[in-house]
Structure 1
Amino acid sequence: MDKTLKAFGLALALTTALAGAAMAQPTEVRIGVALEPPALDPTAGAAEAIDIVVYQNVFEGLTRIDQNGAVQPGLADSWTISEDGLTYTFKLHDGVTFHDGTSFDAEDVKFTFDRILSADSVNAHREFYEPITSITVIDPLTIELKLDRQIGRFLFDLGRGDAVIVAPESADNNANEPIGTGPFAFVQWDKGSRVVLEAYSPYWGEPVHLTKASYVFISDTSTMTNALLAGDIDGTNNFATEALAVFEGNPQFNVLVGTTEGETILSTNNKRAPFDNLKVRQAMAHALDRQAIIDGATNGYGVPIGAPFAPHNPYYVDLTGTYPYDPEAAKALLAEAGYPDGFSATLKLPPVGYATTSGQIIASQFAAIGIKLQLINVQWAQWLEDVYANKDFDLTIISHVEPFDIGNYANPDYYFGYDNPEFQALITTLNGTTDEAKRKELAIEAQTILANDAVNGYLFELAQTGVWNAKLTGMWQNSPIEGLVLRDIAWTE
């Protein structure tokens, strides 16, 4: 062959190879998220930001919750429930390993729940699992959990991030180097920048489409917008609604608008004066113009709520009319409570757009009835310490994203300090009821008590507004549980 032709052939082959490589399907996804998690162990922290990264990705539970909110098998292949509803026997998948190569079996399940129930447990929702009275290893692939009472949502609770299975060999280090059984293994955490996960090739379940996923921490909306437009990230699960217009109608992006379990509330310290006075709380409820808050903070995407329950839940009842917007009624109630000239208070705001914007609007609405609010912006770690842990606050704004978390109001030590024995007894009855019609009746009664007591200012249900590269599929449109699940995400042609 002529040397020139040979050289041309080699060049053509190289060009073809390079073109093929350039056209190859990407296998990595880079996801922008607003908040950096304080740690990476969902069994030892309450922050949603933890589950966004690791839930169903790094860690798995006996059951898992799908994008419709239904319970599916997880590490448990199947289960049986005794006739009295008190004994659950789980058959576990065989051949499962943790990411460090150690094997998974029933002893790991026992260790996990013993750890949750221990006296020194730091699990954010230990109360969900307190009804467990015994944990028995029948054989390496069979575990039995006995309860002291029926729990209507027990299988759902086993699918929460709080109950993912951890190993005794690695549990103590999961906050910084999480090791689970999920389809993705932890690789690195560049503090202040990103967390990187890679597909775990020995994964026991269906193989995933991605080889790598990076969660990039971007708290600023403008920076997130620029990162999406520049292709520095491939999507985000919850984008600021005020900037969605940039991407709507752009064929390079897919805007997914769905529902969440995020009840956004003006959370109130019920144990601190003057908020321990019902008339003061009622006055604040009358001062809230929900629609103005929704329009300003969510650009109309939020759904008004009158109690801490998601409108898409079958147990939901519309209680937004309990304390309609009425500034004159609010002033009268403040006078009856002994505050004819109002009072001053602080409003601590975490670093999320819906909170900071809502805070400014509410400050204006409260000023109209004489309540003067000092807005204090805090970082997420400070919010968790000051507000959630130490209860050092007057008011705050936050979305509670846990599903069916109305039971938090039955805990007088929970950060907003509501202590109502009647309500506590009602939740105990609800938790022990399996009949769906009766559960709905009790749930409506519980919502009504909280609305009447104006425990918090109930504002709106947060929408999930994702912006994704149009070539990506498999993202959850709705968010029935905390997490950003990667298992079905894939690139298309």
Structure 2
Amino acid sequence: MAGVGTTLAGCTSGGDGSDGSNGGDGGGSDDGPIGPTGEPEEGGTLIWGHSEVTQELDIHIAQTAASSRFLNNVHETLVGLTSELEISSDPDITRPGLASDWSINDDRTEYTFTLRDGVTFHDGSELTSSDVQYTIERITDPDVGARYSGVFTSVESVETPDDSTVVLQMSERYNPLLRQLAFSGTAIIPEGSGPDQASNPVGTGPFVFESRQQGNRAELSAFDDYWGEGPYVDALEERTMTDPDTRLTGLTDGDLDYINDIPLDDMTDYVDGANDNVQTSTWRPLAFNHMYLHNDRPPFDSVNWRRAIDFAIDKQELVEGALFGQGSTLATPSFPNSPYRNEELEPRPQDIEQARALIEESEYGMNEFAPLEFKVTTNYPWHITAATIMEQSFSELGLEVEIQELQWGDWLTQVTANMDYRMAMVNWFGGWEPAQMYRGLFHSEGSFNSFAYASDDFDAAIENAESAPSEEEEVEYYREAQRVLHEEVPSPMLWFRDGAMGATPSVGGLDTVLAPNNTEVNFSESWLDE
């Protein structure tokens, strides 16, 4: 979810070390010391140094990647997802779902799901079709404010002919439905549990929520009646460690067993076996980063101004200076090997003169609204560095900006909730599914469209993709949507960032931790060699 995404990076959601790139460019790999081999051992508490603050506990409302990353251990979705980003009912895949089978009629207006036998919730109740019906009705209730309510817009009714069968009747074809039923934000919860999820999340996942001190730590215990593989550890303790150096030191000193994000400036010292005391897994991309330009506030209601900002930025300098080379530039946020990616698009090169000419052609003067506030969060130190680099480019252009450094919660409130800004920047995690990413971020009614972008051409391309009669036409509509974004520049694209997780040599199953979406983590098959 942004530090927003499918999650906002911090959010509003590459490969998993063992299986490859999970939709990235093939850069996934296991590096460094190999963890323990043989049969998993049971017992112990795995301590996770989490790079971000878990904001929300209600999985349907959670807006940030940090929250989804944590809650992915508590909840499960109806549809499973393989490490190759293929939907599946197989119970032995990377992230299995709660449906053991499904069928779809010819015109894709009726979906019939069969639920797995023997699945129970953490409160002891058995999973039934009524829980699925309740979950969907809750997500679509406008008073709840669920972030993925749009997934079910075309669902006309939810029928439960028996305890193990769910039938979705659709008002029209909606191609992304099965893919989006694999989103953690559509996880199945017990009937009637909605009001309590924000304080006591209950799901069917491998771990049971025990407690949380926000911004400090949270505790999960193993679910003894879990239907799937694991869990092997007795407990999972999440410690919030937003400072990169403190987090890495905690790992190397043995205070932590696992960290989900090795600091960018330290990656070369740890990956590829560079440190005998840390095993690592790297993948790309972890997330993409883009600028927020408020499209409904001058001067960024002018497309010339938005293009000028794009031309003013040296994206490769940002990759080298802010990411220490651990990333790449981009023209479109679709994963590098996504079938939906428009390969014809290229990042705009830095061209200060072209940027200046575009501003001179616009209705606004260079510093008519100076200084332009540029809001960045201290949650990501590399954002501060990147903003400083961009400030120098803007100064060369003759544009005065004011960098405002905000705590993550303040940034979310001011930028995504209140839209009180002119310029900002953010990560987006989990960009594997095109409908969620492009509709959520850029459609005029998108739930993550916090920059007031509204384009009839873009909206039409997305809506046509969602109802296209063939996969080939669906792909072409998404590529057209990317062409529109590149032309209208509602949000200049900055970089793809690589990711690396680290663990002590005593942690087994590191290659199973990363979710297929490259964002969330799950410790059901992790274990400790004690």
Letter of the structure 2 residue corresponding to residue 373 of structure 1: V
Determine if the alignment matches structure 1 residue 444 to structure 2 residue 461. Answer: no
Q: Does 1:430 align with 2:449?
A: no
What is the count of residue pairs matched by the alignment? 469
* TM-aligned CA distance change 1:301 to 1:319, over 3 Å: farther
Q: Determine the structure 2 residue equivalent to 1:489.
A: 526
User: 56, 63, 86: which is aligned to 1:46?
Assistant: 63
1:283-294 superposed matches below 5 A = 283-294=308-319
Pick the aligned partner of 2:324 from 299, 302, 315.
299
**Residues 1:36 and 2:53 aligned together:** yes
Candidates 155, 173, 184, aligned match of 2:207: 184
Judged with a 3 Å threshold, the aligned counterparts in structure 2 of structure 1 residues 304 and 434 are, in CA distance, closer, same or farther, namely farther
Query: Matched residues, percent identical?
Result: 25
The residue number in structure 1 matching 2:280 is 255
Question: Structure 2: how far apart are the matches of 1:349 and 1:332?
Answer: 27
**C-alpha separation in 2, matches of 1:112 and 1:178:** 13
2:291 is aligned to 266
Task: Specify the alignment match of 1:9 in structure 2.
Answer: none
Judge which range, 287-296 or 373-382, deviates more: 373-382
Q: In the aligned structure 2, how far is the partner of 1:46 from the partner of 1:374?
A: 27
| 1:373 counterpart (389, 401, 404) | 401
Give 1:61 shift: 1.2
445, 448, 451: which is aligned to 1:416? 451
**Structure 2: gaps (5+ residues):** 1-40, 90-96
Per-residue CA deviations over 1:449-486 (Å, capped at 9, x if unaligned) read 00110111101112222122233323446752541121
User: 1:78-97 maps to which residues of 2 (within 5 A)?
Assistant: 78-97=101-120
Cα distance 1:154–1:412, how it changes in 2: closer, same or farther (>3 A)? closer
Match of 2:503 in 1: 468
Letter in 2 for 1:60: E
Write the letter of the residue equivalent to 1:411: S
User: Of the candidates 333, 346, 357, which is equivalent to residue 308 of structure 1?
Assistant: 333
Contact residue 44 and residue 234 of structure 2 kept, 8 A: yes
- Give the counterpart letter for 2:480 in structure 1: E
The DSSP-based 3-state class of the residue aligned with 2:85 is coil
Highest RCO, 1 vs 2 (Cα 8 Å, sep ≥ 6)? 2
- Is the partner of 2:136 in helix, strand or coil? helix
Q: Is the contact between residue 258 and residue 479 of structure 1 (CA under 8 Å) also seen in structure 2?
A: no
CA contact (8 A) 2:43 2:234 kept: no
Q: Secondary structure at the match of 2:305?
A: helix
CA deviation vs aligned residue, 1:396-455 (integer Å, no higher than 9, x gap): 111111332011211346211110112111101101126222222111111110011011
Q: CA 1:49 to 1:71, structure 2 compared with 1: closer, same or farther past 3 Å?
A: same
Q: Once the 2 structures are TM-superposed, how far is the Cα of residue 312 of structure 1 from its aligned partner?
A: 2.9
CA distance in 2, matches of 1:476, 1:346: 39
CA distance in structure 2 between the partners assigned to 1:294 and 1:181 by the alignment: 40
* Aligned counterpart for 2:358 among listed residues 324, 333, 337: 333
Label 1:443 to 1:48 Cα distance change in 2 as closer, same or farther (>3 A): same
Q: Deviations over 1:180-211 (max 9, x none)?
A: 11111111112221111111001122232222
CA deviation string 1:129-177 (max 9, x = no partner): 2111110011011010122222222111011011001123422121121
TM-score, normalization: structure 2?
0.84
Which deviations, in whole Å up to 9, do the C-alpha atoms of 1:321-359 show, x marking residues without a partner? 363210111111111114554442111112112322221
Asked whether 1:348 is paired with 2:375, we answer yes
* Stretch moving more, 271-280 or 148-157: 148-157
Question: Which secondary structure does the structure 2 equivalent of 1:416 belong to?
Answer: coil
1:70 maps to what in 2?
86
Q: Counterparts of 1:105-120 in structure 2 under 5 Å?
A: 105-120=128-143
Greater C-alpha radius of gyration:
1
- Structure 2 CA distance for partners of 1:358 and 1:26, relative to 1, 3 Å: farther
Give the counterpart letter for 1:390 in structure 2.
Answer: N
Question: What is the letter of the counterpart of residue 54 of structure 1?
Answer: L
After superposition, the Cα gap between the structure-2 partners of 1:412 and 1:206, relative to the gap in structure 1 and judged at 3 Å, is closer
Change (3 A) 1:133 1:94: same
Give the whole-Å Cα distance in 2 for the aligned partners of 1:356 and 1:199: 39
2:54–2:214 contact (8 Å) kept in structure 1 = no
Structure 1 runs, 4 residues or longer, greater than 6 Å off: none
- SS of 1:348's partner is strand
1:213 is matched with which residue? 236
8 Å CA contact 2:330, 2:346 repeated in 1: no
- Checking the alignment, whether the CA contact within 8 Å between 1:269 and 1:275 is kept in structure 2 is yes
Q: Which residue is 2:439 aligned to?
A: 407
RMSD: 1.9
The residue aligned with 1:385 is: 413
